[in-house]
Structure 1
Amino acid sequence: MQFLTLFLLTICSVGAIAQAQQRTYCNPMDISYRYNFEQLNEKISYRSGADPVIINHKGEYYLFVTIQGGWWHSKDMVNWKYIVPDKWPMEDMCAPAALSVRDTLYLFQSTFEQRPIFYSTEPDKGKLKFLNRWLPRLPKDIGPWDPALFHDDDTDKWYMYWGSSNVYPIFGAELDKGRNLTYAGQKPAEAYKAMLWLDPYKHGWERFGPNHSDPFKPFTEGAWMTKYNGNYYLQYGAPGTEYNVYGNGTYVGKDPLGPFEYAPYNPIAYKPGGFATGCGHGNTFQDNFGNYWNTGTTWIGHNWGMERRIVMNPAGFDKDNQMFVNTRFGDFPHYLPTKSWTTPSGQNRDALFTGWMLLSYRKPVVASSTFRASGVDSLSADKTTDENPRTFWVAKQNKPGETLTLDLGAEREIRAVQIDYIDYKQTIYDSDSTVYTQFKILTSTDRKKWEIVSDLTETSDRKEPKRDRACAYVELNSRKDGKPIRARYVRYEHVYVAGSHLAINAFRVFGNGLGNVPVTPAMLTAKRQKDQRNADLSWSKVPGAVGYNIRWGIAPDKLYQTYQFWNDEPNTFELRALNVGVPYYFAIEAFDENGVSALSKVVNDGSGLGKP
């Protein structure tokens, strides 16, 4: 019987796994996150990646991330090759600054000591050189930590911004290119000045804690500067990386060193709901078609508070120069850009969303085995479909052939699969050639006859590059007739992952059902509280919906913010992310496996702030 099953699998898989150019990506980003040695002394092992900077350098992309021993290089923003510097000059870089000017890429690390700025004309080969030997030291505790380099193309002047603290502000200083980008003009202690401070008493989203519920003093960090249409957008992350509400805001000015004004539409990047929550501390860059993107950090936080991953989201500026970042369905598949998404009437904000919906939410899944740990309630397979990155399944053994089998309940069009691994009681403290990921994805309509639709292993006729894929995303090819794969069952078959345990926190399947999209939710209400930083929201649930997007903004046609909720969560919520003195407008949409409803009628917050 086993031979017959294997024979059927072999016959069904012929020609089914030809590799095609991937057209889409999905957050968290699918890169080879490195094992982090920060907690070596505490014997805590975990992959991590945070504080991203993506630079478009001569039409190719370079990704720099905290404490990774190198950087990544890509020509298409989806396939990222890890680059190790030819000679790493000193300790690894935390929250590095990177900048491309003409034919040169510049790189500088976070520091409270004297450190050099590096440059490279061959970053694809990992070659670094010293631009200066030591940037002069600033006063104690000032930094520059979490630095950002900025070159003003119109004036040919250089600047640096930095800050990472719940005591100090974001700082800025001009740099002297004639002196190899050391501080310009004054003595180092006089060369910088404060750019902005957090004000959680007026800016609800700057409050600390989950859903801004902790009175602890918030943190600001992750400065970045973007110039657009004569305005300077000084960006910053807040209120803390270890929460779902970690986002990016901006101040706007007419000069690189200010004065700056707080943007009333803040935060610009915000994703408190869904699977990959949080998107703060990143950068803004343009792709080869002129489209803007914003990167950020999403939180895992199971093994350690700083266990994180990387996200990138489409961004832009509207006709009023308002900066925005689109996080609507931000952890669902999106197309890679092939052209500008700007239209004559403005930004087509949702141009890259594939419309592939999440098919796996809380669907039944069966594991081949489950590890039983003393004092642990559950490491069971159902944790892989609950959209919580901090719950997970652990196999009894880390060996080839372990499986997860997901039942979608009915046939669906299946477009993509994401497998997110998590580290459970690992003892790996550095990534080497033994750290890589291999698996297969199979589908079936009847759970008897299986077809291999993705094979990330080595075969006799094809060699799949070995790399670690903690957030492995696989776009599935269409059938030979051009139609998408249709199946009811989806199976993960394990081949290899480094370490003692196989642990998966998400088995996510994307595609489309074969029915109608849900109806628009009714009875949306929004009532601003006496504390204007908060508003009470409620709506009527839609039978059969998977979830909802509450969309809001500072005008009826500027609903740029999104908070995602699941249908099995309450239909009332206290939103605590608003700015004092600013009117807000709200709408809601429902989504399920078939698609997204029409947007509801826009309602105001009842505060009267928007009335003349």
Structure 2
Amino acid sequence: MKSIAELVSIALLSGLLASCASEQRTTVNSDRIVTNPIDLNYRFQPNEESRREAADPVLEYFKGYYYMFASKSGGYWRSEDLAKWEYIPCTTIPTMEDYAPTILVYGDTLYFTASSGNTRIYKNAHPEKDTWEEVDTKFEYPQHDPAFFKDDDGRVYLYWGCSDVDPIMGVEVDPKDGFRAIGEPKALIHHSCDKYGWEVPGKNNEESRQGWNEGPCVLKHNGRYYLQYAAPGTQYRIYGDGNYVGDNPLGPFEYVEDNPFSFKPSGFIGGAGHGHTFKDKYGNYWHVASMTISVRHWFERRLGLFPVVVSDKYGMYALTTFADYPFCIPDRKVDFEKGDINMGWNLLSYKKKVAASSSLEGYGPELANDEQVETWWAAQTGNKGEWLQIDLGEPMDVKAIQVNFADHNFNIHAPHGPVVYQYYIEGSVDGNKWTRLVDEEKNQQDAPHKLHTLATPAKMQYLKICNSKDMEGSFSLFDLRIFGQGDGKVPVAVTGFQATRDENDKRIYRFVWDSQEDVTGYILRWGTQKEKLTHSMVVYDNQYEARYFNRDSEYYFSIIAFNENGVGAGDF
């Protein structure tokens, strides 16, 4: 039986995480340790109910920086390392408020466009400054959810599609002639809900209508073109990205049986669709995608970053199993296929005993550690002194704390300045004597999903977060998530596992297994290749129904239990 930490140690010995390994043996370099959702200054929207939003991301490496754009953000971000992000407000692109941006690196210039009936394209050779200029555009086809792709030979293509009826389209364009279309657009991907369950809309793919195929993106690897698309709708946890593959940038394309390649229907925050796959400066593949909250509004969303394997043998797949646990951004070329970059820290806080200074009805403290971003605790006020406390049950090694603020009863709309929380987090062994672990009382950063890593693990049973600034609305938390290492036993192997396919609809599987005591949950894995199960789902019960399978594909499954002490026995 191996804990998460032991599994990661094996990977470290093989050199996969050499850069993180030395830091784990001494002190943690928090600069490169992150988790999902990405901690950004998500903007409150200009109208409707007060809420933050960012989605439909695109990311490219340009002149030493990663530039990331996302819908409805009022600007964009840049980073040197994919870990720390600088926000650049933008007023020189009039279409900045349009959905689904795309960018193109062409020569020494970055180009931008977004969803609109009439394509408008902007350029900037120095995007660290808000000095964008409009291009005299000759592209004449109306499009939504556009995506640029530049091939190795310098030829450029534009793809688009956002509909529950129309297909994903593509055409070659000439950037030297105002992005004039070369030839006629081609229909590349059509809807196939009857064959592919993951394209069916609904929280559990249960609705009897077509989903939305949208958000294309193209990646070229070893001479083959991967045309990505999202389905079935951004408001669902089952929102993911699939692939068709071909030998030409405009097809024909063939469906990849192991779809969707980017999929995260479970965990603290779900969703991994309408994204963009890119290479970092070391040659590692990543996928940045939309994650959903969708409570205050369907488009209440966040961004997630996932490592990606592109294998000639096993195809393309994003690693999402522990994508909302702390992981390390590598500073070199690594092999994601042989291991992941998870820090090996377990979740200690799930459904532990909680207390609070106060609570609004329907927003009790038990919602602050239920691993559901769709629910949250809210104090009765936003006054200084409101607090939430979690009792881990016994002293445990605490290594990181993720604070996820819920902005309850805020009345903030764009344009606005930074929305700053100020607080501190204390720990205690006995509930009487407290040690300050995190001090954000002078914080000036808008950081609603901040991960605090401790330079030295703290042996604590009680953790308390305290508000230290009077603010509007309520001091509130989607979840206060505590990571580290328990001192108990990891779970034993799961028994009694059964996978049953629905006789009338082969897109549906039902799973049951024997429940265990002292487990946090179970990791159900599946795939169309027996030796490589590329998908995973975290389940907290001992039964589960899924409707997102391909009608005509055969599947293989495994299941394993985990808790605060590690991952149990089984095929992980």
2:345 to 356, 360, 365: 356
Alignment CA distance shift 1:564-1:179 (3 Å): same
The match for 1:12 is none
1:137 and 2:140 equivalent? yes
Alignment partner of 2:494: what SS?
coil
Alignment of 1:115-154 (within 5 A): 115-130=119-134, 132-138=135-141, 143-153=142-152
Structure 1 residue 587 displacement after superposition: 0.5
CA distance in 1, matches of 2:285, 2:415: 32
1:237-291 Cα distance to aligned partner (Å, 9 max, x none): 0011111110000000000000000001101011111111111111001112211
Find the aligned partners of 1:212 and 1:433 in 2 and give their Cα distance. Answer: 39
The one-letter code matched in structure 2 to 1:551 is: R
The answer to which structure has the higher strand fraction is 2
What does 1:169-248 correspond to in 2, within 5 Å? 169-184=167-182, 186=183, 191-248=184-241
Asked whether the 8 Å contact 2:139–2:179 carries over to 1, the reply is: no
Alpha-carbon spacing, 1:291–1:498, altered in 2? closer, same or farther (3 Å) = farther
Amino acid at match of 1:58: K
In structure 1, C-alpha distance between the alignment counterparts of 2:29 and 2:244, rounded to whole Å: 43
What amino acid maps onto 1:160 in structure 2? Answer: L
Deviation of 1:488 after TM superposition, in Å, equals 0.7
Q: Is the 8 A contact 1:522 1:600 kept in 2?
A: no
* Partner residue in 2 for 1:486: 459
Output the CA distance in 1 between the equivalents of 2:410 and 2:98.
24
SS of structure 2 residue aligned to 1:234: strand
Counterpart pick for 1:23 among 22, 32, 56:
32
Q: What does residue 605 of structure 1 align with?
A: none
2-side partners of 1:93 and 1:362: how far apart?
40
Deviation at 1:393, TM superposition (A): 1.5
Could you tell me the percent identity over the aligned residues?
Answer: 35
- AA aligned to 1:117 is I
Change (3 A) 1:193 1:123: same
Contact 1:112–1:137 at 8 Å: present in 2 too? no
Distance 1:600 1:540, change over 3 A: farther
CA deviations 1:145-170 (Å, max 9, x no partner) are 111100002x2100011111101111
CA distance in 2, matches of 1:498, 1:286: 41
TM-score of the two chains, using structure 1 as the length reference? 0.86
1:592 to 2:563 alignment: yes
Q: Cα distance, 1:400 vs. partner?
A: 2.0
Shift of 1:211: 1.5
Aligned residue number for residue 411 of structure 2: 427
Report the counterpart of residue 354 of structure 2 in structure 1.
365
Report if the CA contact (8 A) 1:398-1:501 is conserved. Answer: yes
Matched residue of 1:255: which SS? coil
* Conservation of the 8 A alpha-carbon contact between 2:136 and 2:178: no
SS at match of 2:128: helix
SS at structure 2 position matched to 1:123: coil
Q: In the alignment, which of 320, 328, 333 is matched to residue 335 of structure 1?
A: 328
1:578 aligns with 2:549: yes
- Whose radius of gyration is greater, 1 or 2? 1
Opposite residue 122 of structure 1, the aligned amino acid is: H
For the 8 Å contact 2:523–2:537, the answer to whether it is kept is yes
- 3-state SS, counterpart of residue 124 of structure 1: coil
Aligned residue type for 2:357: S
Corresponding residue for 2:447?
469
What's the offset of the Cα at 1:449? 1.7
Aligned to 1:604: none
Q: What is the CA–CA distance in structure 1 between the aligned matches of 2:313 and 2:330, rounded to whole Å?
A: 24
Q: For residue 105 of structure 1, report the CA deviation from its aligned partner.
A: 1.7
Does 2:294 align with 1:301? yes
| Structure-2 change in CA distance of 1:32 and 1:497 (3 Å) | farther
Alpha carbons 2:429, 2:461 under 8 Å: kept: yes
Deviations 1:66-119 (A, max 9, x none): 011100111121211110136334552321001224432221111112x32112
Q: 1:347 aligns to what?
A: 337
Other structure's SS at 1:194 match: strand
Amino acid at match of 1:397: T
Q: Does the C-alpha gap of structure 1 residues 598 and 135 become closer, same or farther in structure 2, counting only changes over 3 Å?
A: farther
Task: Report what 2:92 is aligned to.
Answer: 87
Q: Which amino acid aligns with 1:385?
A: N
User: What's 1:6 paired with?
Assistant: none
CA drift of 1:57 comes to 1.6
Structure 1 equivalent of residue 531 of structure 2: 557
What is the one-letter code of the residue matched to 1:513? Answer: G
Q: Which runs of 5+ in 1 are unaligned?
A: 1-17, 372-376, 459-463, 479-483, 602-612
Aligned to 1:36: 45
Q: Residues 19 and 493 (structure 1 numbering): CA distance in 2 closer, same or farther, change over 3 Å?
A: farther
TM-score, normalised on structure 2? 0.91
1:269-284 mapped onto 2 (5 Å cutoff):
269-284=262-277
Aligned residue in 1 for 2:438: 454
The counterpart of 2:260, out of the listed 267, 270, 274, is 267
SS in 1 for 2:367: helix
Query: Counterpart in 2 of 1:14?
Result: none
Relative to 1, partners in 2 of residues 1:317 and 1:219: Cα closer, same or farther, differing over 3 Å?
same
Aligned: 1:396 with 2:380 = yes
The reply to whether residue 385 of structure 1 matches residue 390 of structure 2 is: no
Partner of 1:543: 517
Equivalent residue, structure 2, for 1:607: none
Distance across 2 between alignment mates of 1:301 and 1:90 = 24
Q: 1:74 to 1:91 in 2, by over 3 A?
A: closer
Match of 1:97 among 102, 105, 112: 102
Whole-angstrom distance in 2 between the partners of 1:470 and 1:542: 35
SS of structure 1 residue aligned to 2:331: coil
Q: Is the 8 A contact 1:208 1:239 kept in 2?
A: yes
Which residue does the alignment assign to 2:479?
Answer: 506
Write the deviation string for residues 208-238 of structure 1: whole angstroms up to 9, x where unpaired. Answer: 1011111122001111000000100000000
Q: Matched residues in 2 for 1:80 and 1:381: separation? A: 31
C-alpha distance in 2 between matches for 1:28 and 1:384: 16
Amino acid in the other structure paired with 1:359: L
State the AA in 1 paired with 2:495.
A
C-alpha contact (below 8 Å) 2:55/2:71 kept by paired residues: yes
> What residue number does 1:11 align with?
none
User: Aligned equivalents of 1:128 and 1:91: distance in 2?
Assistant: 11
Question: Does the 8 Å CA contact 1:437/1:497 hold for their aligned counterparts?
Answer: no
The AA in structure 2 aligned to 1:116 is R
Residue 64 of structure 1: aligned partner: 69
Q: Which residue of 2 aligns with 1:159?
A: 157
Deviations 1:471-512 (A, max 9, x none): 22222221xxxxx22111111111348642222111111111
